[in-house]
Structure 1
Amino acid sequence: MPSLRSRALSVALIAAGRRRRFASAEAVRSHVAASARRPASHLPPRSLGRVAEVSRTFVGAWPVYDASPRGSEPAAQVLFVHGGGYINELVRPHWSMIRMLVTQARARVVVPAYILAPRGTADRTVPVAADLLSGLIESGRDGDGGTVLLGDSAGAGLALAAAQRLRDRSGVQPSRIVLISPWIDVSMSHPDQAAIEAADPMLARPGLREAGRLYAGTLAADDPRVSPLHGSFAGLAPLTVFTGTRDVLSTDSRELLRRARADGVEVEFHEEAGLPHAYPLLPVPEGRAARERIVELIRTAADR
C-alpha cells in the first residue's frame, strides 16, 4: 500500500488539474504554441552553484550543463536526460535530482537541454544524444569513473534509444542504464492502458499521443528511434527500471522487462503499488527510497 504522503500527493495532483496538460491533442498543441511564443527556462537554480561547479557548453544547438562536486574529483559520471513529454523543459524536480547525484553520489552530471518537439524530432535528437553518451563513456575511461545513463519519462525513452544507437554503431555501453517511468512506446496502444488511465493523477493518453506524434516527425510511431520498446535489447547495459501502478505508462515498463529479459539483458525492476508517474522524483517516502537506490547504483558504477 502506498504511504499516506503518497496518497495525499496523488489527491493534490488531481485537484491541481495536472492531467489537463495531456487531456487532449488540442491541449498539447496549445501548450506547444504558447511555449514557442514564450519559451520556458532550462537554467539551473542558483542554489546548485553552492554545492557544484556548474558550467555550460553547446553541442550543436543544444545547451549542455555540467555539474560536478565542489572541492573533489567526481567518483562517477551520469548523463541525465530529462522528461516532459518531449515538449517541456527541465523543471525543479529534475534539478533536485541532479543536486542529489552531485552531493550524495559524488557524480559529475551532464545534462542536455535538448531541442523540444516539434523542432526537435527523433531523427535529429537520438544521434546527438548517442554522441553525448559516447563522449562521456570515453572520458570515463580516461579516469572519471563509470558512466550511468539516467532518464525519466520521455527522457528515459530518448536515453534508451541513444543506448541502442550507440550499441549498433560501436557496441559500446555505459555501466548501467536507469529508467524512471520510461515512455518508450509513443503510440499509447497497449490494451491495459485504458483501465490504468482512469486512476492516473498526472497523464492521459490523448495528449501523450499528440506529443509523441510531434516528436516522431516524419518517422512512424513504432520506429525504434521514436519508440525504443520496438528496438532490440540484446547487448545493452544492465537496466534498472522504476514504475508505479497508477502510471498509464507502466505498461511500457512491464513490456520492457519482458522483452529485455528475453534478449538476455539483466533487469532490476521496481514497481510500486499505487504510485504515480515518475514517483522517484516526488517528495514521498517511496521516492526517497528510489533515489537512494539510484545513488547506490552510481556508487557501484564508480567502483568498477
Structure 2
Amino acid sequence: MTTTSPGANHEGLDAVLAHLERLKALNAASGNDLTVKRRLLDSYFAADPAILTIRGRVEPLLIPVRDGRVIAAERLRPDDPSGTAGRYLLYLHGGSWMAGSAASHRPLAARLAQACRAEVISIDYRLAPEHPFPAGLEDCLDAWAWLADEHGDAPLLLAGDSAGGNLTLACLNALDTAGLRRPDAVLAFSPATDLDWESDSLHRKADVEPILDPELLPLIAQLYLGQSPAAARDDPRVSPIEGDLSELPPTLIQCGEAEILLDDSRRYAEQARQSGSPVQLSLWPDMPHVFVGFAPRLAAARQALEEIRHFVDSHLP
C-alpha cells in the first residue's frame, strides 16, 4: 500500500529547508576534510533548539560483539517506565555510512521511543572509510543478535534512516543466513536501497533536494565498499532491493517527495509488495530527507510520528 499524506502540515518547513541548505553549502566548502564533514552532519537535526530538547531517559551502553569487541550504544526509554509495552527497538543511524552516531540521532531515537512505546537501543556501528563494508553491517547484525538474545520473548523492532535505512533493509536480507530471528516490525526513513544509483528521482528531484548531491553518491558508495570491495554493489547486503523481498515482516517506509532517494523507496516497496510482503510506503509532499527527525519544529514530522505509532500498535501486541 502506498499512501500520500494530503494533509501534511508545512508549518516549520521553511526553517528546516534553510538549515539543510546551509549545511549543504558548508559541506561543499569543507573540501575533503572528513572530520569537518562528520561534525557538520552531527548537526543534521539542529534546525531548532526544540528538536534537540528531548524527553525520556538516556544511558550509555556497551554491546559485546564478535572477536571480543564491544560497540558503544545508547539506551533510550520513554518518561514513563511502564510506557514501553515490553517492546525493544534497535536503531541504526544515517550519515552516508561515514558519519553520524547515536548522539547525533538521539532526538529522533528518543521520539521513536515515545511513539513506539519501546526501549530504543541506538548503536555506533563502525564507519567507512576507516572500516569499509561489511564492518558496519556486521556490527548491526551483532547488535541485533544481542538484542534478540537479551529479549527473545519480547516484540522486537528494527529501524534506521538513510544509510541506516539501507543497513536496516540489508539486515533483513542477511538475518536468515546468520540464523537470527526477524524483527516483528520494521521502520525505514528515506532508505538508500540501490547503490548502483539507478533510480530516476536522482535526477528528477535534484532541483528540489536541499541536502543530498546526486553527483557525490557514487563516490560515497565507493568509500563505503572500500578499495578492495568484499561485495559488489548488486549484493543484497549492499543494495537491499536486490534481495529476496518475500516474507518480509510488516514494514513502514516513510519518505519525502522532495528528495532524490524518493524512487529508492518507491521501487523497493513495489518490488516487496509484488513478492507478497506487507510493506507500506508513506510519501509526504514537499518534505526533505529524513524529515521525521525534525519534530516538533516541523509539523509534518509530528504527523509522521503519529503514523508510526498507529503502525506499530497495529502490528505488535
TM-score normalised to structure 1 length: 0.84
2: CA distance, partners of 1:63 / 1:232: 31
Corresponding residue number in structure 1 for 2:24: 18
Distance 2:145 2:314 in 1: 20
Name the CA shift for 1:204/1:15 in 2 (closer, same or farther; >3 Å).
Answer: closer
1:182 Cα deviation after fit: 0.5
Q: Which residue of 1 aligns with 2:72?
A: 63
Matched, 1:5 2:11: yes
Most deviating of 86-95 and 287-296: 86-95
Contact 1:127–1:165 (8 Å) recurs in 2: no
Deviation at 1:221, TM superposition (A): 1.9
Which position in structure 1 is the counterpart of 2:130?
119
Q: Distance in 2 between matches of 1:185 and 1:272?
A: 21
Structure 2 unaligned spans of 5+: 1-5, 44-51
* Native 8 Å contact 2:199 2:261 kept in 1: no
2:224 maps to 1:222? no
User: Does 2:306 align with 1:292?
Assistant: yes
Deviation at 1:126, TM superposition (A): 1.7
Higher helix proportion: 1
Report % sequence identity: 24
1:163 to 164, 172, 175: 172
How many correspondences in the alignment?
Answer: 293
Question: Structure 1: 5+ residue runs without aligned partners?
Answer: none
Q: Structure 2 CA distance, aligned partners of 1:83 and 1:302?
A: 25
> Is the contact made by 1:241 and 1:267 (CA closer than 8 Å) also made in structure 2?
yes
- Do residues 191 (structure 1) and 200 (structure 2) align? yes
SS of residue matched to 2:158 = strand
> Is the CA contact 2:187–2:253 (under 8 Å) kept in the aligned structure 1?
yes
Q: Return the offset for 1:133.
A: 1.6
Pair 300,57 (structure 1): closer, same or farther in 2 beyond 3 Å: farther
CA deviations on 1:64-117 (whole Å, 9 max, x unpaired) are: 222234663532100010001111123777211222233454311111111111
Structure 1 segments of 4 or more deviating over 6 A? none
1:139 matched residue in structure 2 = 150
1:274 maps to which of 276, 283, 286: 286
Aligned partners of 1:83 and 1:155 also within 8 Å: yes
- Indicate the residue corresponding to 2:259 in structure 1: 247
Give the distance between the partners of 2:81 and 2:192, measured in 1 at CA. Answer: 35
Quote how far apart the aligned CAs of 1:62 are. Answer: 2.2
Q: Contact 1:69–1:108 at 8 Å: present in 2 too?
A: yes
Structure 1 residue matching 2:283: 3-state secondary structure: strand
How far has the Cα of 1:10 moved from its partner? 5.5
- Deviates most, 252-261 or 187-196: 187-196
CA contact (8 A) 2:10 2:300 kept: no
Question: How far apart in 2 are the matches of 1:194 and 1:104?
Answer: 34
User: Which stretch of the first structure deviates more once superposed, 262-271 or 207-216?
Assistant: 207-216
Q: Could you tell me how far 1:286 is from its partner in structure 2?
A: 1.3
Q: Is the 8 A contact 1:19 1:201 kept in 2?
A: no
Deviation at 1:301, TM superposition (A): 5.0
Please give the alpha-carbon distance, in whole angstroms, between the structure 2 residues aligned to 1:275 and 1:246: 5
CA distance in 1, matches of 2:299, 2:118: 23
Alignment RMSD: 3.1
> Does the CA-based 8 Å contact 1:53-1:69 persist in structure 2?
no
